[in-house]
Structure 1
Amino acid sequence: MSEHDLDEQLPEGGATVRPVVAVVGRPNVGKSTLVNRIIGRRAAVVQDIPGVTRDRVSYDARWNGREFVVVDTGGWAPDAQGMAAQIAEQAELAIAAADAVLLVVDATVGIQDVDEAVVRVLRRSKKPVVLAANKVDDQRTEAEAASMWNLGLGEPFPVSALHGRGTGDMLDAILQALPEAPTEIFDAPRGPRRVAIVGKPNVGKSSLLNKLAGQQRSVVDDASGTTVDPVDELVEIGGTVYQLIDTAGIRRRVKEASGHEYYASLRTQGAIERAEICIVVIDASEPISEQDLRILTMVEEAGRALVVAFNKWDLTDEERRFYLTREIERDMVQFGWAGHVNMSALTGRHVERVGVAIESALAAWETRVSTGKLNAFLGRVVAAHPHPVRSGKQPRILFGTQAQAGPPTFVLFTSGAIDPQYTRFVERRLREDFDFQGSPIHLEVRAREKRRDRS
């Protein structure tokens, strides 16, 4: 097979722009539970504590053959202060960006002042609104749902997000409220590259996303672990649009994380799997921790391209930088292939270098080496540094091929078992010759089976 044949053939043509539904309501009316019901999986963080969802978070949804985007928002409160005010602002931004709004109210407690305040905001937005009266788990509570007519938004749809009761009729109403999705022609045959921003809590992940986006996109607070949901954002960096995923900080151990932090921690790992490249944010002002190394290992094991962002550089002095260099040499030796950026998300210093590092790492991640070039390289390596003799035998690399890109995966066919040290040596030389800076390499060795002697 030629090198050209190995290249993936991507279809040309248009892509459908999906309409957006914003799910809003006061805190703890069951918005995230309803979102999970709509998308058919447990993706949004759900807990009986008001205000668990803090940012606006988008998910793909499908109903009756139509695709749309659901945006889950934090609880909206008109007189909010501090972080609650930021959360309310995120909800208003979601309403402004949406094609239709799903207002969720709690049928079991009736209309509250906050519900009426949300209605006033929705009227000003002039967006079509579907009213969901949630927590109608049986017929007895349907009469209570009928009282929601008084909000003046038309028919309330009695639903139970927990049990799924009535959600079909509600979804039909949402589809009627949504505009038909137009088709746009994109120059690129695929969507934006997916970039996950990961790291332990309070290292500045949300601040980095906000700096890259150029707006207040994630709720930022000095309290560790403020972001509990993965937050997707299309951001242009250096002329290229990327889909950035800001994730909850990974706790020391999943077992130690309680409640919503437990699920957020699990989904952070999911965000790494969903991404093509990960920016691992490390606090340069503190010693590199086991947590940092564990996150780097997760990215490597997932086979994702990697950029290490040493954040809070403005808080380091000469002595700290000296020790950081020593820590990198001692503790991060196995991640020497990753691109590094020394930056400050707070001041914006060297943040622009992140875009260059992303581009370079993704290019390495997608590199394809033709079979001819690979075997010429292997021939040179084996001739200059043959495998050591073991038990009177010297295994040889017969030939090699690249099985896939993203991450670059190579299969070496050999005459016998190869020492792990020799495999690592070949991997190191591959990096030097073909420039895989920023990308992990997977090497698989397939030893030829011994022929059985025929009697």
Structure 2
Amino acid sequence: MAELGIDPADFVAMDEEDEGAGAPDGVDGAVVATPVLAVVGRPNVGKSTLVNRMLGRREAVVQDVPGVTRDRVAYDALWNGRRFTLVDTGGWEPDATGLQAAVAAQAELAMQTADAVLLVVDASVGATTTDEAVARVLRRSDRPVLLAATKVDDDRLTADTASLWRLGLGEPHPVSGLHGRGSGDLLDAILEALPETPRDTFGASSGGPRRVALVGKPNVGKSSLLNRVSGELRSVVHDVAGTTVDPVDSLVELDGEVWRFVDTAGLRKRVKMASGMEYYASLRTQAAIEAAEVAVVLLDASEPIAEQDQRVISMVEEAGRALVLVFNKWDLVDEDRRLAMKRELERDLVRVRWAERVNVSALTGRSVAKIAPALRTALESWDQRIPTGRLNGWLADVIAATPPPVRGGKQPKVLFATQAQTRPPTFVLFTTGFLEAGYRRFLERRLREEFGFEGSPVRLSVRVREKRAKNAKNAKKQR
């Protein structure tokens, strides 16, 4: 800017909230394949509490009711310099029915794909018939199996863990997930049991797969869509709204490319108004959006666009992530609903006209293949950078045709423009006066017409030049 005679120190920032955040930490980081430990056990024995203790942070949703965890949820863990993956699972019951049967199936899949298994038993209760049934299955497994006796909060229960030898899984490790008692010894034993490299290295690559967050209100079909694109029962699906609680992380090969999809809990209400399990699930959904590069917002095409749908879209927009709107359950849409939807899009989603849109049916698989091209388009826009010379040449033509409106008896001038960052594309305009919000929206609209940016938010920030007299006065004070 110096060669143009412009000193950045002469400008003050305006609309700093529009400048946005940069790319999430580690977006370009490589994905390293790590061995996997599956944590299994019957409901309410403290698996998620123990997982949080081993991670050293509160990741898994915990509440004092059975059946909170339902899916296979993977977390990155580190102990004594070695990295591994912890997979928390729902309660496993051999004779479960309905929703619990689907949860148990997820636990069984976790065991089949893990490099080692940790069975968690409630030491305060002892080995139940369900624990014995689980142990019989694990004894036939070709994976290393460890036994954790949890809820051993003091020495009084340590002696009782000896009775767990009868499960035939080796030495029980007494541990307290709540207080951390014995967790270090358990982690040492886990590292001994885990192989140096995992059996399955699917998805490991130098650049790492792009991160996609599946978000939306409850019961719009997020888990069904994840199961459809992954080709397996990766998430528990049930007619009960709000089945997913923890974010479910999956590597999915779609259209010849590996993506990291994160299925999230449906957002019923504002995070501040939620409570208990729903509150922590909402926090994790928000964190999943911020950690993603592109968000796929699912909407139920058979129902009118709701306030919750708009709130989720606003969360993605405020986080500065690329956006793809996927209208699910398209197999239920008739001609009347199509006409009504057209009016709703013009009225309720006018602020995100730039978002990519795909109409699909997770149930039948209709048009699911179109999601990958939409994701690529959105991410290309999110990463796009406009050369400064081309940007200012275009801006001069636009301003010559449509000058900024007069403000306070003076017409502000745009002296210079530059793209400050990508992810999302953020532009800074250096001016002699404040630009009205309407004119900034006009510039954004023309910017999209010229350069595209389909599927990505665009942010405009204005920096107004301070008066020379004020600058001279401040310089004199500094002397």
TM-score band w.r.t. shorter chain: over 0.9
The Cα of 1:258 is off from its aligned counterpart by 3.9
How many residue pairs match? The answer is 447
Matched, 1:276 2:293: yes
Aligned with 2:67 (options 20, 41, 51) = 51
Give me the TM-score of the superposition, normalised by structure 1. Answer: 0.94
Q: How does 1:198-237 map to 2 (within 5 A)?
A: 198-237=215-254
Task: Provide Cα deviations, 1:275-316, integer angstroms capped at 9, x if missing partner.
Answer: 111111111111111111111111000000001111111111
Q: Is the 8 A contact 1:14 1:186 kept in 2?
A: no
C-alpha separation in 1, matches of 2:82 and 2:144: 18
C-alpha separation in 1, matches of 2:204 and 2:32: 13
Residue 339 of structure 2 corresponds to 322
User: Once structures 1 and 2 are overlaid, which stretch shifts more, 135-144 or 369-378?
Assistant: 369-378
Q: Is the 8 A contact 2:269 2:308 kept in 1?
A: yes
The Cα of 1:128 is off from its aligned counterpart by 0.8
Residue 6 of structure 1 corresponds to none
Q: 1:40 to 1:435 in 2, by over 3 A?
A: same
Q: 1:12 to 1:231 in 2, by over 3 A?
A: closer
Q: Is the 8 A contact 2:29 2:208 kept in 1?
A: no
The Cα of 1:186 is off from its aligned counterpart by 8.8
Aligned with 1:254 (options 259, 266, 271) = 271
Q: 1:187 to 1:24 in 2, by over 3 A?
A: closer
One-letter code of the match for 1:308?
Answer: L
Residue 91 of structure 1 corresponds to 107
Residue 153 of structure 2 corresponds to 137
Kindly report the root-mean-square deviation, in angstroms, between the aligned alpha carbons of the 2 structures. 2.1
Give me the TM-score of the superposition, normalised by structure 2. Answer: 0.90
Residue 164 of structure 1 corresponds to 180
Matched, 1:332 2:349: yes
The Cα of 1:23 is off from its aligned counterpart by 0.4
Q: Is the 8 A contact 1:199 1:249 kept in 2?
A: yes
The Cα of 1:188 is off from its aligned counterpart by 5.2
Structure scoring higher RCO (CA < 8 A, sep ≥ 6) equals 2
Residue 440 of structure 1 corresponds to 457
Residue 443 of structure 2 corresponds to 426
Q: Is the 8 A contact 1:230 1:271 kept in 2?
A: yes
Residue 23 of structure 2 corresponds to none
Residue 27 of structure 1 corresponds to 43
Unaligned regions of 5+ residues in structure 2, if any? 2-25, 474-479
SS at match of 2:140: helix
SS at match of 1:445: strand
Q: 1:273 to 1:200 in 2, by over 3 A?
A: same
Residue 417 of structure 1 corresponds to 434
C-alpha separation in 2, matches of 1:149 and 1:99: 23
Residue 376 of structure 1 corresponds to 393
Task: Provide Cα deviations, 1:323-353, integer angstroms capped at 9, x if missing partner.
Answer: 1100110111001110111121111111111
Residue 384 of structure 2 corresponds to 367
The Cα of 1:254 is off from its aligned counterpart by 3.2
C-alpha separation in 1, matches of 2:124 and 2:109: 28
C-alpha separation in 2, matches of 1:25 and 1:182: 22
Unaligned regions of 5+ residues in structure 1, if any? 2-9
Aligned with 1:293 (options 269, 286, 310) = 310
Matched, 1:358 2:375: yes
Residue 11 of structure 2 corresponds to none
Counting aligned pairs with the same residue, the percent is 65
C-alpha separation in 2, matches of 1:160 and 1:135: 5
Q: Is the 8 A contact 1:54 1:74 kept in 2?
A: yes
